[in-house]
C-alpha cells in the first residue's frame, strides 16, 4: 500500500498535501496536472486513502484501519473513480456523479471522487460539473487528473487548487521500475533515460519487446531522413500518424535520438548519450548534421509533440514535421 511518504519524486507536492491534512486545511477540488506517466494517479490514490483513513498519522495513512484495507482492496464505498467511456467523459457520467454527491458518506468523513482525464469532458459534461464546483458540498472532495489542463474550462481551473507535476528524473524512473515493477536493475537503468521522465513509457520499453521495437523503428526513420525525398517523408508521417495514441511517444523517442546526436556533436563524449545501446550509430549519424541544424530539429520535434498532445491533427502535424526535418538536408548540406 503506497503511502504519500513512500512515493518517489514530487517531494514538494507530497509535503504540501501532508501538511494540508495535518492542519485540516483542505480544498474541495484539486487538479493534478502534468505529462502522462509521471505519477499523478499514484499520488491521487495515496492522497485519497489518507483522506479516508480512520487514523491518519503525521499527514499520512495508517495502513491498518478498516478504511485503509478497503481502499487497498478497491472496495471503499466512499471512494469513486470516474474514467472516460471511450475517448470522452460524457454528460451521463457527470449526472451520475452529481446524484452520488447528494448522498452522505457511507462510513468516512467525506466522499472522494478521482476524475481521470478530466480534460476529456465534453462541453456539456464540463458545464454540468462546473455547477457542482460552484456550489461545493462540504462532505465531498474532487481530485481531477489531466495531461492537458489547457483543455479544461477556465472556470473549472479557477475553482481547483492546482499542482503541476513534472517529469521524473532518470534515477527516479529507474528506482520505480526496479522496486515497484521488478524490472532488473541493469535493465531499468538502461531504459529509464529513454523515457523522458515517464514511468509509463519506461515500462513499455523495458517490459516488452514491442516497446523497444517502436524505438528501433524510429531510429530507422531517423537514419533515412537525410537522404529521403518529400514523397517518402509524407509516407512515413502517415505511418506514424496511424497509431495516434503512440504518436507522442514516438516523437519523444525521436527527440531523444536527435538530442544524443546534438550532444555528441558538441562534446564527442559517448558517455553522455542517453541511448547507450546505439552510441556508435548515433556518433556516426551526428556528423551528417551541423549543431545548428540539430538544435533546430530538436525544437521542431518538441513543438510537434506538444501540438499532438494538445489534440492537434496527428497526420497534418507529422507531415509538416517530417518535411521540415527532411528540408534540413544531410551530409552535403550541414551547417
Predicted pLDDT of residue 206: 78
Predicted pLDDT of residue 331: 42
Predicted pLDDT of residue 211: 64
Cβ atoms of 274 and 194 within 8 Å: the answer is: yes
How many Å apart are CA 164 and CA 13, to the nearest integer?
Answer: 8
Cβ atoms of 111 and 105 within 8 Å: the answer is: yes
Is domain 4-164 classified as CATH 3.40.50.300? yes
Regions of the chain with pLDDT less than 50? 330-335
Closest listed residue to residue 115, CA positions, set 32, 198, 52, 10? 32
Closest listed residue to residue 49, CA positions, set 24, 72, 80? 72
Is domain 208-333 classified as CATH 1.20.272.10? yes
Predicted pLDDT of residue 334: 38
Give 262-282 pLDDT, tens digit per residue: 999 899 888 888 888 888 899
Domain ranges (residues) in the chain: 4-164, 208-333
How many Å apart are CA 130 and CA 157, to the nearest integer?
Answer: 10
Predicted pLDDT of residue 118: 95
Amino acid at each position: 500500500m503506497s503511502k504519500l511518504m513512500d512515493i518517489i519524486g514530487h517531494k514538494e507536492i507530497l509535503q504540501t498535501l501532508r501538511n494540508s491534512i495535518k492542519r485540516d486545511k483542505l480544498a474541495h477540488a484539486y487538479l493534478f496536472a502534468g505529462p502522462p506517466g509521471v505519477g499523478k494517479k499514484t499520488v491521487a490514490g495515496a492522497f485519497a486513502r489518507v483522506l479516508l483513513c480512520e487514523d491518519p498519522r503525521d499527514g499520512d495513512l495508517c495502513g491498518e484501519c478498516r478504511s485503509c484495507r478497503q481502499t487497498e482492496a478497491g472496495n471503499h464505498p466512499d471512494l469513486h473513480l470516474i474514467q472516460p467511456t471511450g475517448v470522452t467523459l460524457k454528460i451521463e457520467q457527470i449526472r451520475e456523479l452529481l446524484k452520488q454527491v447528494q448522498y452522505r458518506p457511507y462510513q468516512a468523513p467525506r466522499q472522494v471522487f478521482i476524475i481521470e482525464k478530466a480534460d476529456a469532458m465534453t462541453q456539456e459534461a464540463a458545464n454540468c460539473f462546473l455547477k457542482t464546483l460552484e456550489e461545493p458540498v462540504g462532505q465531498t472532495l474532487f481530485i481531477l487528473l489531466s495531461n492537458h489542463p489547457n483543455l479544461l474550462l477556465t472556470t473549472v481551473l479557477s475553482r481547483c487548487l492546482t499542482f503541476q507535476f513534472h517529469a521524473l528524473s532518470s534515477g527516479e524512473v529507474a528506482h520505480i521500475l526496479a522496486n515497484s515493477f521488478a524490472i532488473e536493475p541493469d535493465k531499468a537503468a538502461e531504459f529509464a533515460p529513454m523515457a523522458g521522465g515517464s514511468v509509463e513509457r519506461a515500462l513499455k520499453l523495458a517490459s516488452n519487446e514491442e516497446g523497444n521495437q517502436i524505438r528501433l523503428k524510429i531510429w530507422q526513420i531517423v537514419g533515412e531522413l537525410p537522404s529521403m525525398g518529400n514523397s517518402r517523408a509524407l509516407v512515413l508521417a502517415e505511418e506514424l500518424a496511424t497509431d495516434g495514441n503512440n504518436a507522442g511517444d514516438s516523437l519523444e523517442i525521436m527527440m531523444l535520438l536527435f538530442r544524443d546526436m546534438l550532444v555528441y556533436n558538441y562534446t564527442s563524449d559517448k558517455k553522455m548519450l542517453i541511448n547507450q545501446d546505439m552510441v556508435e550509430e548515433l556518433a556516426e549519424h551526428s556528423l551528417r548534421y551541423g549543431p545548428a541544424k540539430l538544435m533546430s530539429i530538436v525544437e521542431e520535434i518538441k513543438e510537434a509533440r506538444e501540438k499532438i498532445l494538445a489534440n492537434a491533427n496527428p497526420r497534418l502535424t507529422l507531415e509538416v514535421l517530417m518535411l521540415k526535418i527532411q528540408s534540413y538536408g544531410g551530409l552535403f548540406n550541414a551547417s
